Each structure stands twice: as C-alpha cells, then as structure tokens.
C-alpha cells in the first residue's frame, strides 16, 4: 500500500476488510443504471405509479422496472403500496433510507451535469487518437 496519508477526509482509511467486502457487494447492487434512474425519478416526482415510472425512466423495459422496484423494496429503499381496486393501482414511494441514498448520489448528478462537456471532449480526443 502506498501509504501517502491524505489531508482530506478519507472514508476508506480505517476499514475492516470484511466490512469492505460487504460494502463492495452493496455498491455493486445499488450502483446499477436502472436503480439510479428510478431513484432519481422518485426523488424528483415523489410517489409514482408503475406506468408513470415506465414513462419517466427512458428506455427501461417492464421486466427490468419490475425487477428494479422489487430489489429496491427488498433493500428498504422504497415502499410498495397496493390499492385493491380495478384496474390495479400500485404506488411506489421512497423511504427515508431511499432519500438518504438519493442525497448521497446528489454529488454524482452534479458532477455529471458539470462535466458533460469535458467528457464529450475527452471522448472525441480519444477517438481521434484511434
């Protein structure tokens, strides 16, 4: 390990490798394209129904929307409320935990907005080099 101590806050410094494994596993699940996009829409629009989310999240299939919502429900990120009416009405709403994850991802959205141009330029340069 290159032991260059950082002056700024390093969240990884005092970590038990067992915990690190679990965190990596969790990151692997949560840092999924669809989870992120669903999270974003639920943050933006509040409680949503199934078809509303299908419309809001660009390009998601019904299968993946169902899977993503189930996984998020299992992880306690959102609550699924079934209204026993016809036609069916199911609402999805972020929990406190879901909101806290949304806030944690805030920095990433800001980063993406801020650096869009820079990345497109980097890609052009890379592609030009062959």
Partner DNA sequence: TTCCTATACTCTCCAAAGGAAAGTAGGCAC
Partner DNA sequence: GTGCCTACTTTCCTTTGGAGAGTATAGGAA
Count of residues for the chain? 130
What is the three-class DSSP state of 81?
strand
Does 81 engage in binding with DNA (CB under 7 A)?
A: no
Q: Which is nearer to a second copy, 84 or 86 (CB)?
A: 84
Stretch that binds a second copy, among 36-44, 61-69, 82-90 (CB under 8 A): 36-44
Among 30, 40, 43, 49, binds DNA (CB under 7 A): 49
Q: Which of 51, 62, 66, 100 binds a second copy (CB under 8 A)?
A: 100
43 binds a second copy (CB under 8 A): yes
Q: At what angle do helices 96-129 and 33-45 cross, to 10 degrees?
A: 130
CA angle 35, 36, 38 (to 5 degrees): 65
Q: Alpha carbon of 104 to those of 17, 107, 122: distances in Å?
A: 23, 7, 26
Piece of 61-69, 83-91, 119-127 that binds a second copy (CB under 8 A): 119-127
Instruction: Please count the residues of this chain forming the interface with DNA, following the rule CB under 7 A.
Output: 20
Please provide the distance, in angstroms rounded to a whole number, between the alpha carbons at the two ends of the chain. 34
Given the rule CB under 7 A, which residues bind DNA?
32, 49-52, 59-64, 66-67, 69, 80, 86-90
């Amino acid at each position: 390990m290159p032991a260059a101590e950082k002056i700024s806050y390093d969240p990884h410094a005092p970590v038990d490798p067992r915990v690190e494994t679990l965190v990596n596993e969790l990151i692997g699940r949560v840092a999924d394209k669809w989870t992120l996009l669903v999270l974003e829409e639920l943050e933006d629009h509040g409680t949503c129904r199934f078809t509303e989310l299908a419309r809001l999240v660009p390009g998601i299939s019904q299968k993946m929307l169902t899977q993503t919502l189930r996984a998020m429900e299992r992880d306690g990120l959102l609550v699924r409320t079934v209204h026993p009416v016809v036609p069916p009405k199911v609402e999805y709403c972020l929990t406190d935990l879901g909101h806290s994850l949304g806030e944690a991802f805030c920095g990433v959205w800001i980063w993406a907005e801020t650096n869009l141009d820079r990345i497109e330029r980097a890609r052009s340069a890379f592609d030009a080099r062959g």
